[in-house]
Amino acid sequence: MRLLAALLLLTSPGLAQSRPRARDLGVPFDGTPAPLNAITDVAGVTVGHSTIIAGQGKLVVGQGPVRTGVTAIFPRGATNGDPVFGGWFTLNGNGEMTGTTWLEESGFLAGPVMITNTHSVGIVRDAVIDWLVRKGFEFDWSLPIVAETWDGSLNDINGFHVTKEHAFAALDSARGGPVAEGSVGGGTGMICNQFKGGIGTASRRLPADRGGYTVGVLVQCNYGSRGRLSIAGVPIGQEIPDLLPCRDSIPGAPRVGGGRRCDDAEKGSIIIVIATDAPLLPHQLKRIAKRAALGVGRLGGTGGNPSGDIFVAFSTANPGAAKPDANVTVTMLPNERISPLFEATIQATEEAIVNAMVAAETMTGINGMRVYALPHDRLRAALRKYNRLVEPRR
């Protein structure tokens, strides 16, 4: 098997969506999205993906099959090195997000936020520093933010297929506008609620009397149990209990027709990136990051023991706040006005996760492991059964 013979490298965040988004299917959500319903609705935020899909059949470590990638999120775009105020939170810590010790200490996030697979964090971290040097950014040291979720059910994760060039491709392709979702970038080999998962995004815009601020969320979802999956209050996991991830042999897993075995164990993680233009300080952004957990909980997530649920939030307000050579005046939203942003974060997180599952397509990876896409027709049927489907206007 020649790895490069089947290489697919996607480097455009605005790649046309071949599948509808959750709202297009009639899934009801609370709140009002901004025009793109994406993290890029926050002015200045850009996103890039690098996707690697190669090979099929039996796992041969170092050769494949490969189902992985890298996603890059810039708070102020790739050419603007002005740090942003940031904060982070971990719901359950079986995961990694580098750079968070200094983020917690300093309150500033400098450079992009990167997401990849568990065993590629190191190469992506080093690549970010190399990329910044090549682009002419001046600094004595750098502690990039790089997060991960595990894609080893579908991907030859121990083959270390993500290279510095893949990270560069994600960084160089970062753009504003629509964001590709599903099995792209770091989300390529991910599984969410035992359906195919990956990258998803959504946004909310507050009304003018609440500040008119925008909150955007991007998730890499790779977590959850089918039995607890709830969408718009409907027990989707109970309505669609079949189509579990299956391969030729998973010891101890329930056997299904045709001699295949299906995996019904909960495992995995979720990374959530939250952007806003509201003038929030680091301690307030940590509070925002915590609320993402409630969005995960709306869908049935519990932050179980094997899960790495790590969230980071940043604000694009207060440009120049990190100037080192003079006192700086900054603007802060009063705590008494922050609750609508909490609500917006919860709503956008919930929708971003559903968007990831709706966009993802059925994928077969190592050793014939097949992970099924959330079937749109059955999702709509379940929503209709519980009187939750939003029918199109005629």
Catalytic residue status for 24: no
Q: Which of 307, 315, 325, 339 is catalytic?
A: 307
Q: What's the angle, vertex CA 114, arms to CA 284 and CA 10, rounded to 5?
A: 135
Tell me the torsion sign for CA atoms 202, 67, 239, 21: positive
Q: Which two tokens stand for residue 312?
A: 């980071």
Instruction: State which amino acid sits at residue 219.
Output: V
Per-residue three-class SS string for the chain? CCHHHHCECCCCCCCCCCCCCHHHHCCCCCCCCCCCCCHHHCCCCEEEEEEEEECCECCECCCECEEEEEEEEECCCCCCCCCEEEEEEEEEECCCECCHHHHHHHCEECCCEEEEEHHHHHHHHHHHHHHHHHCCCCCCCCCCEEEEECCCCCCCHHHCCCCHHHHHHHHHCCECCCCCCECCHHHCCCEECCEECEEEEEEEECCHHHCCCEEEEEEEEECCCCCCCCECCECHHHHCCCCCCEECCCCCCCECHHHCEECCCCCCEEEEEEEECCCCCHHHHHHHHHHHHHHHHHCCCCCCCCCEEEEEEEECCCCCCCCCCCCCCCCCCCHHHCHHHHHHHHHHHHHHHHHHHHHCCCEECECCCEECCCCHHHHHHHHHHCCCCCCCCC
Q: Which two tokens stand for residue 172?
A: 């160089």
Q: Which of 50, 120, 309, 315 is catalytic?
A: 309
Catalytic residue status for 269: yes
Q: How far apart are CA 249 and CA 361, in angstroms?
A: 22
Q: How far apart are CA 304 and CA 306, in angstroms?
A: 6
Burial class of 131 by CB neighbour count within 10 A (0 to 12, 13 to 18, 19+) = buried
Q: Which of 50, 183, 269, 315 is catalytic?
A: 269
Catalytic residue status for 142: no
Looking at the annotation, which residues are catalytic? 269, 307, 309
